[in-house]
Amino acid sequence: MRIDKYIKIIIFYIFLRTMEKMFMLALLITFLFCSMKIIDMKYVSKEWKPLKTVIRDAVVVLLASISSLFVFNVSNGTMTDFFNIVTDNKVLNPAATEVFTGDPGF
C-alpha cells in the first residue's frame, strides 16, 4: 500500500470518530426532547397527541441537531472545543500559548 492510502485511512478514521460523537450528542438531544414532550403531555397539558406527531417532531429535532453540530464542527473546531464551551472549562491550547522564558539575545 502507498503512503497516501494510509493517510486517507487515518483521516477517514478521525472523521468517523468526530461524526460518532456528533451523532451520539444528537441522539441524546433527541432523547431529552422526547422525554420532555412526554412529560409535557402527561402532566402539563394532560392531552395525549398522536404518536405520528411526536415522531415527526423528534425527527425534526434530530436533523436540526445533527446539522447544527456539523456546521459548528466545520466552522469552529472540534467537538472537544464544543464541550469546553458548554461546560465552561478554561482549557488553553499549549501550542497557541507559547511563552519565551530564555535569556534575551541583546
Close Cβ partners of 37 (under 8 Å, ≥ 6 residues apart): 54, 57, 58
pLDDT at 104 over 60: yes
- Which amino acid appears at position 97 of this protein? T
Angstrom distance (rounded) from CA 36 to CA 34: 5
Please name which of 13, 23, 18, 9 lies closest in space to residue 77, comparing C-alpha atoms: 18
Specify the higher pLDDT residue, 46 or 95.
46
Structural domain spans, the chain = 3-81
Q: What is the mean pLDDT of the chain?
A: 79
The confidence band for 20, taking pLDDT boundaries of 50, 70 and 90, is confident
Contact between 22 and 73 (Cβ < 8 Å): yes
pLDDT in tens, 47-91: 999 999 999 999 999 999 988 887 777 765 666 666 666 666 666
pLDDT at 10 over 80: no
pLDDT of residue 93: 60
